[in-house]
Amino acid sequence: MTYFADNWGHPWIGLGIVLVLFLHERGLRALNARSTPAHALSRRRKMYFSYAGLILLGLSIVSPLQYWSMQYFWVHMLQHVSVMLAAPALYVAGAPWLALIFSLPVSIRRRFLSGVFLDPRQNTLRRVGRFFLSPVFGVIFFNLVMVFWMLPVVFDPVMSHPNLHIGLMLSSFFISGVLFWIHFVPSYPFVRKLAPMAQAGSLLLTNLIMTIIAIAISFLVSVPSYNFGAAMMSMMMGGHAMSMPTINPLVDQQIGAAILWVCGDFWCFPALYVALRRATKDEDSSNLMDKFLRGQRAMSAKEFQEARAKSRPE
C-alpha cells in the first residue's frame, strides 16, 4: 500500500489544475446565466468531460504515477496514454472553449474578441491560429511528438530530470493531444474540417505508427533501448531510500510496448467506428466507400430515378 500512499508530489501542478477548474466553472456560470435552463443543463453535463480530463491530467502528475513512471517503462507508458490520449480527448469532448472565454471580465473579453477576430492588424495572428488549428498540423504534430519522445537519444536525458519530464514531455503530450482530438471529437465552436473518410484514414495512420513503435521496442530488440530510471534509483523519500521492486529491464520495456499497442487499439477503433458511421451518412464519403469496396460508385436518388424511368417500356 506504501507504493500508492507515498510519493505524491508536485503540488504546484495540483494548484494549477484547481485554478484552471475554477476558471472553467466561473466562465460556465457566466455563460449559463444567459442561457435557457435546458441549454445550461446540457452544457454543464458536457463540461463534466472537460473536468474529468483536467483531473486525470493532474492525477497523472501529482499522484505516485509520476514517481513510478520515472522508475519503470510500463508505468511511463500508462502515464503516456493517460496524458496524450485519454485526458485530451475528455477535455475536448466537454467543449470548454466558450467557458474559458467567459471566465474573463467583460471588458477584457470584449477587447480580446474584437482584437483577435475583427482587428485588421491581427491578420497574421489569425493566419497563424488557423495553421495551428488545421487538421494537417494537428495530425502530423501529434504523431511527430509521439515518435520524437520515443527516440532513446531524447528520451533518456529528459527522463532523468522530473521537471523536464513534466515541463517538456508531458506538456507536449497534452497540447498535441488537444490539437489532434478537436478534429475528431465534436467540440463547439470548433467545426471538424476533416471529411469522415479522411478522419478514418488519419486514425488508421496514427494507430499504425503506434503499432510500429510498439513492435520496434519489443520484438525487434534483444536488449533494453532505454537507460530507464538510472538517475532515479537513489531518490530519497522521507529521508529513507525506497525499496524498489525488481523487474528485468527488457521485460519492463516489452510490457510498456504491449500497453502502447493495446491502448492504441482501444482508443482508435471506437473513434474509427464513429468516423465510418459518419461516412455512411455523408454522400461523398459513401460514394467513395462504395467505389473502394465494390469498384463502383453508388447511384444518388436522382440518378436512380432517371435510370428507372429509362428502363420502363414506352
pLDDT means per 10 residues, the chain with 314 residues, are 73 95 95 91 95 96 92 93 94 94 86 74 83 95 96 91 92 97 92 88 93 93 80 44 69 93 82 82 55 53 64 60
Alpha-carbon gap, residue 248 to 72, rounded angstroms: 10
Report the pLDDT value the prediction gives residue 301, as an integer from 0 to 100: 60
* This prediction's pTM: 0.84
Report the pLDDT value the prediction gives residue 239, as an integer from 0 to 100: 44
Report the pLDDT value the prediction gives residue 237, as an integer from 0 to 100: 43
Q: Which of 201, 206, 212 is nearest to 275 (CA)?
A: 201
Report the pLDDT value the prediction gives residue 109, as an integer from 0 to 100: 82
Report the pLDDT value the prediction gives residue 196, as an integer from 0 to 100: 87
Dihedral sign (CA 268, 173, 56, 77)? positive
Task: State yes or no: cis peptide before 189, omega within 30 of 0.
Answer: yes
Report the pLDDT value the prediction gives residue 241, as an integer from 0 to 100: 46
Report the pLDDT value the prediction gives residue 264, as an integer from 0 to 100: 76
